[in-house]
Structure 1
């Protein structure tokens, strides 16, 4: 794939439709000199990989700020993603990450991007997969694009949790349902003029469509968007950092032993435009 080299900074595209590897050093990345270039590349490529860059938490925060507006987590600046409840009390919630999703479909303005770095890996499994929902939309036949235009989808937290726990008791279901629903466009027309598909595990049904047809459409589009040519599976090494454009990709974690010590640290960048 194409490679662009300038000093201590090089870019290699992984696939034609998604993903670029950025080879650099901490000093260059933290300086912010390539911040605008990396932001543009992120929006174009969907996912950027910084192999074995070994950011500590403060460096990860500082680098995040060179790309966009840093947003602290609810319980600290950085979120430790782990299935160990001593490390992450929200471990049960994290299980939803094993299914394709976009972060923020329960809000009107989703996160712009997330940056995740690998601290401890499981011995097996644990890749993170991404798919480019801009490229998936662009490749649809013209007649299908026309048919999808104007369709609205109801998203709910409880729909995503049913992937994890398909037979909850009523108390648990009521807890999930209390978080409400959100109606979003199936096709997001961005301020840039580009369009992307809004799908994932929170997508419950298409407004006004017969239930079986709604499910068939959402599953078919998910299969289309996550096919090989639009997707990238990152096999982690300790110290890797990966940033993804949350407005133009979906992502999921691949299965790994839940009793492993796998631990990732995530930082977030504030959303900049509403679903439209």
Structure 2
């Protein structure tokens, strides 16, 4: 007799001690809903979950995202968003997506950031295009105590326009005004989560530490980013068509590695509803 969904257990293996787990259950088991709590718990512990060769359809990806906490409508209201720098696929938002090539957290400009994202590979690049992740929970835990004391109460100004300068350092004044119109926010450098855990809030939107000079701010932010994205907190995923990867956006940095923008590389993204403001 087949095992019923209520008796399913989550089968997984660690990718690295401080980041990442590989899920070994079938697509049918995951979509049954019986593993939802276990998957969410493991996501918080590991930061990144790899679902090898699930070959999710868009409908299945939306269903899995809803099971894990709720699927959030994308930029233009769609349930699934195509991630590609190929202008034949994403002409209107290619410049915005260029920011994904640099370390970032999604939604730093929002009062409540998304909880995470799920990507499924549809078309591979001709070269490059791995997606990298860094566990900012584990990085905070391992910071020397003196460094924790120095940074734990700092605030940081975040802005969209700062992130755009990473890929377009010489914008027109019209571009700059458009980016700056999106505003700025002050966020804690160290996020104390409702679980009691703490993580570093870093990435390309981080512009300046409040009360510090630009030079000192850069040393603080770049130094922490270098630490958080180093071994053993870093994982780079080499995609195969049909792979799905989910990450905890509240405590994990991510970025895409460079690739030929015209090669048609394509990932389908769904995003998980956030339920925790920065604090």
Q: TM-score range by the shorter chain?
A: over 0.9
Q: Is contact 1:128–1:252 with CA below 8 Å preserved after alignment? A: yes
**Counterpart position of 1:73:** 74
Q: What residue ranges of structure 2 are gaps of 5+ in the alignment?
A: 1-6
State whether structure 2 residue 185 is matched by structure 1 residue 143: no
Aligned counterpart for 1:122 among listed residues 102, 125, 131: 125
What does residue 160 of structure 1 align with? 163
Alignment pair present for 1:267 and 2:270: yes
Q: What residue is the counterpart of 1:15 in the other structure?
A: 16
State the TM-score, normalizing by the size of structure 1: 0.96
The whole-number CA distance in structure 1 between the counterparts of 2:266 and 2:148 is 40
Mapped contact 1:21–1:51 kept (Cα < 8 A): yes
Cα deviation for residue 111 of structure 1 reads: 0.5
Shift of 1:85: 2.5
CA distance, structure 2, for counterparts of residue 193 and residue 10 of structure 1:
27
Q: Matched residue of 1:232: which SS?
A: strand
List aligned pairs for 1:44-59, cutoff 5 A: 44-59=45-60
Q: Unpaired runs of 5+ in structure 1?
A: 1-5
Match of 1:233 among 236, 252, 270: 236
Give the distance between the partners of 2:181 and 2:10, measured in 1 at CA: 48
Q: CA deviation at 1:7?
A: 6.5
Aligned to 2:177: 174
Structure 1 runs (4+) greater than 3 angstroms displaced: 6-9
1:39 paired with 2:40, answer yes
114-123 or 77-86: which moved more? 77-86
Among candidates 65, 85, 88, match of residue 87 of structure 2: 85
Deviation at 1:228?
1.6
> How well do the aligned residues superpose, as a CA RMSD in angstroms?
1.2
CA contact (8 A) 2:9 2:35 kept: no
> Contact 1:8–1:23 (CA<8 Å) still a contact in 2?
no
Aligned length: 271
1:242: which partner in 2? 245
The 1-side partners of 2:123 and 2:88 are apart by 15
TM-score (norm 2): 0.95
Q: Shift of the alpha carbon at 1:82?
A: 1.2
* Alpha-carbon distance, 1:210 to partner: 1.8
**Equivalent residue, structure 2, for 1:3:** none
Give 1:8 deviation, angstroms: 8.1
Aligned partners of 2:71 and 2:79 also within 8 Å: no
